[in-house]
Structures are given as C-alpha cells and as structure tokens.
Amino acid sequence: MKPTLLVLAAGMGSRYGGLKQVDPLGPNGETIIDYSIFDAVRAGFGKVVYVVREYFLEQFKQTVEQKYSNVFCPDGQKLEFVFVTQELSKIPEGYSLNPERQKPWGTAHAVLMAADAINEPFVVINGDDFYGRESFEIAAKWCEKHQGGEGVYGIVGFELDHTLSESGGVSRGICHYDAEGHLTDVVEHLNIAKNAEGKVMGDNSITGETVVLNGKDLCSMNMWCFTPDYFKRSAVIFKSFLDANSQELKKEFYIPYAIDVMIREQGVNCDVLSTPAHWFGVTYKEDRPAVVEKFAALAAEGVYPSPLYK
C-alpha cells in the first residue's frame, strides 16, 4: 500500500502578505507544493490529501485538475487527489467556540480534518516549505516499514543550519531524543539567527534565556510520519484541549503538543529521522527572491526537469 502525502495548505500567510501556497516560484511558475508532490511521487507516494480553507477550495481543485492531469506514479497508476477543509467551526459536537475567534485551531486540528480520507501510513508537510527529495525518500521508507503498525510515529528532523532564513529570525522546535532515537520533547526557540560572530543564537521559549545553539541540532519543520491510529489518539487529546481552551481567542492545537501528550500519557514512541536535505521556504516576503533563485539553480543543475510538469 502506497503512503499518502497530507499537505497542510490552509494557512493565511499573514507575514508573507498573501497565499504562499499558490505563489509561482519555479522557472515555469511552479509552486513549492508542486516540487513536494514531484518528490513524493518519485519516492513512492500514491495519494495527496490537501487541507485547505473553504474560500479557496474551488481554486485549488481547478489548479490541481489542470496541472496534475498527466501525473502518474512509477507503477503507472494515476496520482489520486483528495480535498478536505479546515474551518473554526469544525470541532466536536458539544463544544462551542468564542464568536470573536478568528485564528485557526492549529496544525494538529488541520491533520484531524483528513481522518476520513486516510487509511494508510501518511506523511504530513506544510504547503509552503521545500523539504528536498531525500526527506521524502526517508519518510516513504519509514511508512513502508510501519504498514499496519500502531503507536509508533516519526519526525523528519533537519539540521538547524539547513533551515535558517537570511531575511530575519525564525522560530524552530529543537528535537531532543533518547539513546534509541525516540523523541523526548520538542523545545521551541524564537528569534533564531546567526550573530556577527557566526554563532547561531535563539531564545528558549520555556526559560526566556538567549542561548547559543548547535547548528547540527535536529529541528522540526513539521514533517511527520504517522499511521492511521494517530487520528483516534489525536481526537481524544483535542477534546481535552477544547475543555480548557474552547473560548480562547489565540491558543492553537499543534502537532508537537499532541505528540508530547501521546509520548507522556499513551506510551507512544516517535522516531527521530535525520535528513541531509536543506529546507527553505517563504516565511517572509523578503525570502521570495532567494527561493526563486534556488529553484532556478536546481532546474539548471538538472535536479528537477523544467517545466516540472508537462
């Protein structure tokens, strides 16, 4: 059974100033998602599930129908696409939300929207992040190994040095793991950037202290490997989250939070998988020219065909 790629594409892109998910960044107008799907198909994925907002659902559907109409998996089967929507009102029965809330419920809530669309191992990615071919190959191998499994998940960790932005400080979750390579926690650090001396500095979100970070440390870029039992576990945790936060305006239900609860309270293990790939994305609008340049270079070097899809 081929794994599924779950693309989180419901974000608004407030810092970027527009919908990053449809921004043409490649030499022939390709989006970042186009490259992720290309890499996923090469790695053996057979289905793509998009999580989008209702207001741009039709635009996404039309784009997919036009762009991927001739995309086939290596075994000759046509790549399958499914669309689900994330909205504030999509919460369990019996709960109400603050009518003034506008902020989405977060990445773990977005994943839950796909519960009825996925019955096989799957990989979660952000729609506005470039992860690289090696990362999808690593994730696909993990999914193949865990067919029919339960209670063991995975996170693809990127070296911190491979994820920094030249346009400003970034937030990254540093992965801590035990001797067996199982995740123990993810500690968020804010304002991560290199100082004048070339040291990577960041603010520990727990202590508030500015610390020197190791550029080789693995960090989370929201690339997760799950088996379908994740949905049931996460749904239970989401209800507990809503018990405490349903009337809040800004608190969000994030994947690292859900995983942390599963590790501490449900005996789940999460494998930390290291990728040599360089991440890049468009956190800020100022990042755009550099990303365009990188895709042009990858096409010129023959890493990707140009155009990506014909």
Residue-by-residue pLDDT tens, the chain, 310 positions: 899 999 999 874 444 344 666 788 999 999 999 999 999 999 999 999 999 999 888 888 888 888 888 888 888 899 999 999 999 999 999 999 999 999 889 999 999 999 999 999 999 999 989 999 999 999 999 999 999 999 999 999 999 999 998 778 899 999 999 999 999 999 999 999 999 898 999 999 989 999 999 999 999 999 999 999 999 999 999 999 999 999 999 999 999 999 999 999 999 999 999 999 999 988 777 888 999 999 999 999 999 999 998 7
d(CA 123, CA 141) in angstroms, rounded, equals 11
Continuous H helices in 200-287 = 229-245, 255-265
Question: Chain centroid to CA 209: how far?
Answer: 27
State residue 21's pLDDT score: 64
State the pLDDT at residue 154.
Answer: 98
The pTM of the full predicted model, rounded to 2 decimals, is 0.94
> What CA–CA distance (Å, rounded) separates 211 from 215?
12
CATH (one of 3.30.420.40, 3.40.50.2000, 3.65.10.10, 3.90.550.10) for 4-157+220-263+276-300: 3.90.550.10
- Give the start-to-end residue ranges of the domains of the chain: 4-157+220-263+276-300
pLDDT (0 to 100) of residue 15: 42
The whole-angstrom separation of Cα 59 and Cα 82 is 14
Taking the C-alpha atoms of residue 47 and residue 7, their distance in angstroms, rounded to an integer, is 11
